């Protein structure tokens, strides 16, 4: 891995663990095993490096989700695969946690990849749901856009509740609950 890659990856991890303020250039350099000169050779400063890290996290989240969304199976099977995949629940969503960071949301450039990722996720879920509805997997009156927004809200809320309880149980219950609601809207239900 190049110094630039190590800096981005280290920043991603530190942002997820500590937030923007807690991610100092010195901590980034130590974790990356890179010097100050290397950091400022590749990036104009902490905001530039943080933006690269946030973008990388967003790209990674989209790529992982797309594996399930474009996979084999019915719409509900693909959405279930997405919701039930392995996650580091107690660490929180790598994108969702950043929305709770006042320094990230105060910066339009750092907030933009978060907005774009949630917009993409909502849109992609709505596409899968609409596809399922067109294949008569779901009730005709199922609204793909509203249902997609609900799924995302439940997932993000599940992370928050799990972190607050220091237990994955609230997350698991939230996911199981939204899957049960979705299953109740299938044509075979």
Length of the chain: 189
Please tell me the predicted confidence (pLDDT) of residue 181.
Answer: 95
Helical residues (DSSP H) of 33-101, grouped into ranges = 36-42, 46-69, 75-84
188 band by pLDDT with thresholds 50, 70 and 90: low
Please tell me the predicted confidence (pLDDT) of residue 35.
Answer: 87
Reported as a single tens digit per residue, the pLDDT across 40-72 is: 899 998 999 999 999 999 999 999 999 999 999
The correct answer on CATH 1.10.357.10 for the domain covering 57-184 is: yes
**Structural domain boundaries in the chain:** 57-184
- Residue recorded with tokens 């663990």: 17
Task: Flag whether pLDDT at 189 surpasses 80.
Answer: no
Task: Flag whether pLDDT at 83 surpasses 90.
Answer: yes
């Amino acid at each position: 891995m190049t110094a630039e890659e190590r800096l981005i990856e280290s920043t991603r991890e530190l942002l997820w663990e500590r937030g923007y303020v807690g991610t100092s250039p010195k901590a980034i350099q130590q974790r990356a095993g890179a010097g100050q000169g290397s950091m400022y050779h590749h990036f104009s400063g902490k905001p530039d490096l943080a933006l690269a890290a946030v973008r990388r996290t967003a790209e990674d989240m989209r790529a992982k989700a797309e594996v399930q969304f474009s996979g084999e199976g019915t719409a509900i099977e693909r959405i279930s695969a997405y919701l039930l995949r392995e996650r580091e629940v107690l660490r929180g969503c790598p994108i969702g946690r950043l929305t709770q960071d006042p320094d990230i949301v105060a910066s339009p450039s750092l907030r933009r990849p978060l907005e774009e990722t949630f917009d993409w996720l909502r849109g992609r879920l709505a596409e899968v749901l609409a596809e399922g509805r067109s294949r008569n997997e779901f009730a005709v009156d199922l609204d793909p856009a509203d249902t997609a927004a609900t799924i995302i809200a439940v997932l993000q809320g599940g992370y928050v509740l799990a972190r607050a309880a220091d237990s994955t149980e609230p997350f698991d219950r939230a996911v199981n609950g939204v899957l049960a609601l979705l299953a109740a809207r299938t044509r075979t239900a």
